[in-house]
A and B are shown apart, each in its own frame.
Chain A
Amino acid sequence: MFAFCCVSPILFMLFGSAGSGSLMTAVFSLADERQRSLMGNTLLLGAGVTGVAFCVGVPVGIILARCDATRIWLARMLLALPLVLPSYVLALAWIVLFGARESVLVYGIPAAIVVLGLSLYPIVMLAAEAALRTLPARLEEAALLAASPVRVFVKITLPLIAAPVSASLLIVFVLAISDFAVPGLLRVRVYTTEVFTAFASLYDFRLATMMALPLAGMAAIASIAALACLQRPLIGRADRGQAGRRWNAAAQRVAAAGALLGSLAAVGVPIGAVALEAAGGRSSYADALSIDAVRNSILWSASGATLVVSIGTLLGYWRAKAARGAARLAEGLWVTLFAVPATIIGIGIIALWNRPGIAGAIYRTDAIVVFAYCSRFLPIGALLCGAFIQRVTAGAEEAAIVSGASWTRAFTKIVIPMSGRGLAAVWLLMFILMFGDVALAILVSPPGESNLAVRAYTLIANSSAGDVARLALVQIAITVLPLFVIALLARKQVRA
């Protein structure tokens, strides 16, 4: 399934491009000073955004994990909202907030790093929180008997959550180096533009595919570096009722209040700026409210997220059991595949599916969008699922099998429940990323059908800033609603 979904469209594009002169063009371009400058900017942007996401996401994730889930569900949802906001909108809010002055504070790489970092930190936050909640409390508590809290945090806690946090940081890095809209608005020249130019200006698929190789190379190098630095985490048991250390009630109250205030600032400021801009708009809010687009957004994203987590769980399980070398190779491959621009995957899918027969029949249905989402997001889905499954102790599973349970029973009754929280967080992240997708949906969605993001982007083309802001507010509201429902249901389950 992985090879079919993720690898085949990319291989199709690569083999179709390798025989042309585009390969040599791409190779020679690496020797060009301008290209190297663009790559330098891209690396700087990626590294900076990853740093911001780490500095914001990990502490916030820790705070959330130390509190009872029922106290901070609202703060968690609000803190995750920047991920839901289109990055383009955050850049607009940045320009509105700081005025349109020609300043390095408003435009340039530092500004792009801050904007993208604040857009993507929720990925790290969700990963850190989910990892900490399943970290056996007794490991830290035992260490606290002999060491200071800081030493325990550095020597015990951080290494134990390093796998999922590192996976999330790699995702942030790849998303940052793949972004085009924010650098474009904030006037940062990045390498992604070269790939985009090959598509949108030159209509040269082969050149675009070859030009994407350096981006994939950057991701591969980043993943190798991350994996080399990562210490193999201790495998701990996530006993029910014992999962995760909590602060005392007073500390939780303070933390919850702080998280809520912080979330209001993190979310309220950009949304407030967007709302101010929207006041000048003239379009009706109802313009973006298409029931079909809302339905498609929710159903395509939910189906895609479910498919990704289903396959990703199996891949992650394999990764957890695989030999060290094979596991690291797989992780490197997953990160590299994710760095391939969505447009290349989309064109590859069209080439593979748009043909007479059963493939063409499927191509003309909504299912092709779900397959496209799977192709794009399964690599990171597998990476994240693997990070959480890896933390499930082998002993519990083996004990079940030795006791006579089949592999299937042990997998569904032991492995899945013990990694359930993490898998749920992965599902939520996949849902959010797919919900906001434009690049794939605009290429493969059946004529007459679109999701909310595509509808919003097609409506905002050449609209005033105020109308853009209005549509963004509608998109935010529509995205938040299913998340709010899921958060409420999850909260009730936890209380039960």
Chain B
Amino acid sequence: MHRLSAIVIAVAVAASGCGGRPAEQSAAAEKSVTVYVSTDRVFSEPVLQAFEQKTGVRVNAVYDTEETKSTGLANRLLAEQDNPQADVFWSNEPVRTLVLKERGVLAPYESPVAKDIPAIFKDPAGMWTGFSARVRVIAYNTSRVTEADAPKSVLDLADPKWKGQVAIADPRFGSTSFHVAALYVALGDDKADDFFRRLKTNGVKIASGNSVVRDMVVRGEVKAGLTDTDDVNVARQGGAPIAMVMPDKAGMGVPVMPNLVSMMAGAPHPAEARQMIDYLVSPDVEAMLAKSEAVQIPLRSSVPGPANLPRIDSFTPMTLDYGKVAARVEDVTRRLQTILGL
């Protein structure tokens, strides 16, 4: 027991000696920037590593988990608001960024590199800039559904012929919360309420996340589900029997979710923060993300997009005021808790 005790004590002492970050201690000698990242780590980490190699600026990254597995980085940013630790926030969907903007956590910065990004994907006040987008899609199992029979509109999912064969992620969290709020803004409350009531009557299955929806479609547990482009692509790369449809191309438009990058108010390293933002909104990063498994669609039509997805200027995106969508999230969450019985 004495040797065991000694080992335990030694470990504890060693751990207590492990403190502080080399970047913090040698800030004068080595530049650093702290980035909080909600975009999936498998896609974002290589981008940040490339920034380090290119600029020599050390990146201290904090990554996020899937939205239903932890309360996430947005809460950390809000909690740290009075003494910010982060310089930059890189989000993979608009809602979190717009909540932070509303709470006064962000600082304005309009990157000169982003001049050719369409204005609809930039905040007029300069609080955030969009780049590389995902799209909300209808995924379907190719063993059970032909391309011709696949639903073409989100509203088709409430058709009785899909009874018990549709899954969506919990609409209170993540990109699904953005999508449902966008539907309420686009359709109006009455039509949107009616749609979700019919979806409930149709036996829609509520999964814990977009990747779970995708897995349910792959397994054939359901024929179709609402998810994101990157989720479907990951499964397709693995040879799974799954394909996707961009919904409502001919109707209300396809929901587009750009990545958003913002500078934090009171950022400890503002110069490096601006350097990071300039890098993230550059055509090079859009090209990287297009080529990755994330298959993110560049917002610049001049940048080559993923081979198996249409370009941003080839379909009609849902006309969205991201601010209005974000403002509806709380109300829509409460409505859907009642309608869907969550």
**Contacts A282-B238, A306-B12 hold; do A199 and B75 have CB atoms under 8 A apart?**
yes
Does B3 touch A at the CB level, under 8 Å?
Answer: yes
| Chain B residues near A489 (CB-CB < 8 A) | 3-4, 7
Write the A430-474 contact mask toward B (1 if CB under 8 angstroms, else 0): 000000001100110111111000100111111111100000000
A459 & B41 in contact (Cβ 8 Å cutoff):
yes
| Chain B residues near A427 (CB-CB < 8 A) | 8
A299 & B18 in contact (Cβ 8 Å cutoff):
yes
Select A354's contact among B3, B63, B85, B206, beta carbons within 8 Å. Answer: B85
Which of B60, B86, B172, B208 counts the most A-chain CB atoms under 10 A from its CB? Answer: B208
Q: Which of A195-231 contact B (CB under 8 A)?
A: 196-197, 199-203, 205
For the complex, give the distance between the alpha carbons of A461 and B60 in Å.
20
Does B177 touch A at the CB level, under 8 Å?
Answer: yes
Segment at the interface with B among A181-189, A311-319, A330-338: A181-189
Write the B64-79 contact mask toward A (1 if CB under 8 angstroms, else 0): 1111111111111011
| Chain A residues near B76 (CB-CB < 8 A) | 350, 442-443
For the complex, give the distance between the alpha carbons of A447 and B220 in Å.
40
Does B15 touch A at the CB level, under 8 Å?
Answer: yes
B15 & A302 in contact (Cβ 8 Å cutoff):
yes
A447 & B60 in contact (Cβ 8 Å cutoff):
yes
Does B201 touch A at the CB level, under 8 Å?
Answer: no
B66 & A347 in contact (Cβ 8 Å cutoff):
no
For the complex, give the distance between the alpha carbons of A301 and B256 in Å.
42
A364 & B85 in contact (Cβ 8 Å cutoff):
yes
A303 & B234 in contact (Cβ 8 Å cutoff):
no
**Contacts A282-B237, A299-B11, A354-B79 hold; do A200 and B173 have CB atoms under 8 A apart?**
yes
A200 & B72 in contact (Cβ 8 Å cutoff):
yes
| Chain B residues near A461 (CB-CB < 8 A) | 40-42, 64-66, 69, 211
Segment at the interface with B among A67-75, A135-143, A262-270, A365-373: A365-373
Does A486 touch B at the CB level, under 8 Å?
Answer: yes
| Chain B residues near A88 (CB-CB < 8 A) | 69
Select A197's contact among B35, B82, B333, beta carbons within 8 Å. Answer: B333
Segment at the interface with A among B20-28, B273-281, B317-325: B20-28
| Chain A residues near B342 (CB-CB < 8 A) | 189, 193
For the complex, give the distance between the alpha carbons of A200 and B64 in Å.
12
For the complex, give the distance between the alpha carbons of A100 and B42 in Å.
27
| Chain B residues near A343 (CB-CB < 8 A) | 70-71, 75
Listed by A's residue number, 10 A-B pairs whose Cβ atoms lie within 8 Å are A197-B333, A203-B103, A302-B15, A354-B80, A438-B69, A439-B71, A447-B60, A450-B63, A464-B240, A490-B4
For the complex, give the distance between the alpha carbons of A181 and B67 in Å.
11
Residues of B whose CB lies within 8 Å of any CB of A are 1, 3-4, 7-9, 11-12, 14-16, 18-21, 23-24, 34-36, 40-42, 59-76, 78-80, 82-83, 85-86, 99, 103, 164, 170, 172-173, 177, 205-206, 208-212, 215-216, 219-221, 228, 230-231, 234-235, 237-238, 240, 329-330, 333, 337-338, 341-342
Q: Which of A297-352 contact B (CB under 8 A)?
A: 298-300, 302-303, 306-307, 343, 346-347, 350-351
For the complex, give the distance between the alpha carbons of A187 and B213 in Å.
13
For the complex, give the distance between the alpha carbons of A460 and B14 in Å.
30
Does A272 touch B at the CB level, under 8 Å?
Answer: no
Whose C-beta in chain B lies nearest to the C-beta of A184? Answer: B208
Select B79's contact among A196, A205, A307, A366, beta carbons within 8 Å. Answer: A205
Select B64's contact among A306, A356, A458, beta carbons within 8 Å. Answer: A458
| Chain B residues near A462 (CB-CB < 8 A) | 40, 42, 66, 209-211, 228, 230-231, 234
A100 & B79 in contact (Cβ 8 Å cutoff):
no
For the complex, give the distance between the alpha carbons of A311 and B4 in Å.
19
Whose C-beta in chain A lies nearest to the C-beta of B67? Answer: A200
Whole-angstrom distance from the CB of B7 to the nearest CB of chain A? 7
| Chain A residues near B210 (CB-CB < 8 A) | 462
B83 & A463 in contact (Cβ 8 Å cutoff):
no
For the complex, give the distance between the alpha carbons of A210 and B122 in Å.
36
Beyond A200-B68, A201-B333, A463-B234, 12 extra complex contacts between A and B, CB < 8 Å = A193-B342, A203-B103, A299-B11, A302-B15, A350-B79, A366-B15, A366-B20, A438-B69, A462-B40, A462-B210, A464-B211, A464-B234
Whose C-beta in chain B lies nearest to the C-beta of A200? Answer: B71
B41 & A458 in contact (Cβ 8 Å cutoff):
yes
B237 & A364 in contact (Cβ 8 Å cutoff):
no
B83 & A366 in contact (Cβ 8 Å cutoff):
no
| Chain B residues near A51 (CB-CB < 8 A) | none
Whole-angstrom distance from the CB of B141 to the nearest CB of chain A? 12
Select A280's contact among B14, B20, B85, B238, beta carbons within 8 Å. Answer: B238
A201 & B41 in contact (Cβ 8 Å cutoff):
no
Whole-angstrom distance from the CB of A8 to the nearest CB of chain B? 15
**Contacts A200-B173, A299-B14, A447-B62 hold; do A205 and B1 have CB atoms under 8 A apart?**
no
Closest 10 pairs between A and B when the two form their complex, measured CB to CB: A299-B15, A365-B19, A448-B60, A447-B60, A303-B15, A199-B71, A458-B63, A350-B79, A184-B208, A306-B12
Does A248 touch B at the CB level, under 8 Å?
Answer: no
A443 & B34 in contact (Cβ 8 Å cutoff):
no
**Contacts A282-B238, A350-B79, A489-B7 hold; do A447 and B21 have CB atoms under 8 A apart?**
yes
| Chain A residues near B75 (CB-CB < 8 A) | 199-200, 203, 205, 343, 347, 443
| Chain A residues near B18 (CB-CB < 8 A) | 295-296, 299, 366
For the complex, give the distance between the alpha carbons of A303 and B12 in Å.
4
Does A34 touch B at the CB level, under 8 Å?
Answer: yes
Does A420 touch B at the CB level, under 8 Å?
Answer: yes
**Contacts A88-B69, A454-B65 hold; do A364 and B24 have CB atoms under 8 A apart?**
yes
